[in-house]
Structures are given as C-alpha cells and as structure tokens.
Amino acid sequence: MAMDAITPKNEIARAEPVKRPSKEEAEEAVRTLIAWAGDDPAREGLIDTPKRVVNAYKEWFSGYTEDPVKYLSRTFEDVQGYDDIVMLRDIDVESHCEHHMAPFLGKAYVAYMPTEAVVGISKLARVVEIFSKRLQTQETMTSQICDAITESLAPMGTAVLIDAVHECMSTRGVHHKDVSTITTQFTGVFKSDADLRNRFLRMTGRG
C-alpha cells in the first residue's frame, strides 16, 4: 500500500530527552517480560539474556543520542556547475514500530535538487540511519528525513520514498508476509513538477 506521509512539522534533530532508567533496571524489566512469557529468567539459557537484550536495544535505538542536523551542516559549493538531482538508492532501513516494538525492514530512496551546495552523500544515508534507530512509524520517519534535508540544505526540492515490510503485520495479527508499505514525501520542485517527481519514481524502479 502507498501513502504520502503528510504529518505536522516536528522536531528534526533529537527527541526530547527523557529520564532513562539504569542498565540494571532495564535488565530487570527484561527478566519480568521473560517470566510473563512463561519462562524462568534464572534458567541457564536465559541468565545472560537480559544483558544481551539491553545491549541490543542500545544499538537498535542509538538514534536518540544523535543529531541528524549535525551531519548535514557541512556542505560543498565547488560542484562545477552541477544542477541536477542528487539521489541515493537502496539505503537499508532497519527500524522498530512504536506500536509493537517489532522490526520493520526495507529500503529508502532519498533525493534533492541542490541550490548552490551539496552535502557528502554518506551523510544522507546517516540521516536515514539516525531516524530509523528510534521507535517509529514509517510515515513519521519519511517526513522527518525529508524535513531534515529540506531545512538543513534549503534545496529546490526534496524527495523521499521508503519501502518496508513490517513484522508486526507479517509475524502477528493478520500474518501477511508478502505485503510491503510504501511512503513518500515531496517538497519544492518534486512536489510542483510532475515530470520531475515521476523521474524520481522511475529512478527508484517504481515509475
């Protein structure tokens, strides 16, 4: 299914800080969940599981401690007259839905039409990674990535497409394993110029 991620503008840098529990408290919470699931957190195979889960969460949700705007702050103006689309395809998306904390995995396609400066291409991939390493909805993440690029680089236009499979849908509930969700967000010339927007979509393999 496809939809435009039309959401209110929100903070594009870092989520509001929250008081984090200690590592020991987090590990105890995992033990509680293991017991709730019906197993014994003290048995041999599960003794170290709380520590492993907390360490995994530290990696999976590292986006809360990073500022995507920082990665977009250094630009380059010597582009030898280049005045066309800059696009990254097939950026890995590894995120977790905020409703069930289940993974959703897919690809992101990010493009912008530069004005006078460009940003290092790896920084665009880093922005996707930072927002994906938070509890998310795909719609919100699409909008956040687009807003970060638009507000930091002030390009003539920005285009973002994400195609992902949600395990909260494939491994529970309706159990549809072959359904992916596509979200898009367009600004500037990508929104006003249908030909340019369709060119972007063709470059993603969907036009």
3-state secondary structure of 161: strand
pLDDT band at 77; cut points 50, 70, 90: confident
- How high is the pLDDT of residue 82? 85
pLDDT digits (tens, 9 = 90+) for 55-69: 999 999 999 999 999
Q: Is 144 a catalytic residue?
A: no
Q: Is 100 a catalytic residue?
A: yes
Q: What was the pLDDT predicted at 164?
A: 97
CB count within 10 Å of CB 63 equals 20
- Domain 68-203: top CATH class: alpha beta
Rounded mean pLDDT, 32-48: 98
Q: What is the pLDDT of residue 15?
A: 52
At residue 65, the pLDDT reads 93
Active site residue 168: yes
Active site residue 176: no
From CA 43, how far away is CA 195, in angstroms rounded? 61
Pairing state between β 2-4 and 103-113: unpaired
Q: Has 138 been annotated as catalytic?
A: yes
User: Among candidates 102, 183, 179, 171, which has minimal Cα distance to 135?
Assistant: 102
Residue among 136, 138, 144, 185 flagged as catalytic:
138
Break the chain into its structural domains and give their ranges: 23-60, 68-203
Residue 3 has pLDDT above 80, yes or no: no
Over residues 117-137, the pLDDT tens digits come to 899 999 999 999 999 999 999
Report residue 8's pLDDT band, with 50, 70 and 90 as the boundaries: very low
